[in-house]
Amino acid sequence: MSAPPGPPAPVEADGLLQLLRRRRVCRRFSDQAVDERRLRMVLEAGCWASSASNNRIHRLLLVRDQRRIDLVRAMSPGMLGLPTALVVICTDLDAAARAQVRVDRDTTTWIDVGTAAMNMMVEAEALGLGTCPTTSFSRGGVRAALELPPSAVPEFILQIGWPAGTEPPAETAAPGPAGRRLRAFAYAERYGTPLA
């Protein structure tokens, strides 16, 4: 009979607080693309955010295609930077219906959007990446630009890239297959296309 697992290893609290203190919004990005491994780590941080009643009605759409990013930017007066990647947080109306969440009445769903966004921004900072939140955009325009299905409502756009003027570190090793959580809640380029 094995002993029960002990408590999780503590995170260095002072280091975490320093990370939170130094995180800033980035509005000027380098044109160098962010590698797949780092982007997956950012997405995974968003997937581990809290969710009211653990309903998990939000999905994360990673967009790296520059043409599509430019289309989204044209629909988004709040998008001032030129990032090399976007993560669009969408409410999945089908998932909401299955969970019996009334998105027209339940404002806690906005809290879930915010916690996912903040998790991703903190992880990006830990990786040396810059991020900028975008909430000023045309939902209909973004939906059309990204060819979202009617069940996907874009709620929030996170711009991601290397901050201008920084030298990105060497590319990390290629990531292994996406884990179960990433496959369930994150998509690549097209809504409904899971990460490989």
Handedness of CA 21, 84, 48, 132 (dihedral sign): positive
What's the number of domains the chain is made of?
1
Give domain status of residue 7, yes or no: no
Which domain CATH number covers 56?
3.40.109.10
The boundaries of the domain holding residue 50 are: 24-166
Residue 43 lies in a domain: yes
Which helix (H) or strand (E) is 69 found in, with range? helix 66-74
Under 8 Å between Cβ of 152 and 143: yes
List the pLDDT tens digit at each of the 196 positions of the chain.
556 666 666 778 888 888 888 889 899 999 999 999 999 999 999 999 988 888 899 999 999 999 999 999 999 998 988 999 999 999 999 999 999 999 988 888 999 999 999 999 999 999 999 999 999 999 999 999 999 999 999 999 999 999 999 888 877 677 777 788 889 999 999 999 998 7
Domain-located, residue 71? yes
The answer to whether residue 178 sits within a structural domain is no
Cβ neighbors of 9 (< 8 A, separation 6 or more) are: none
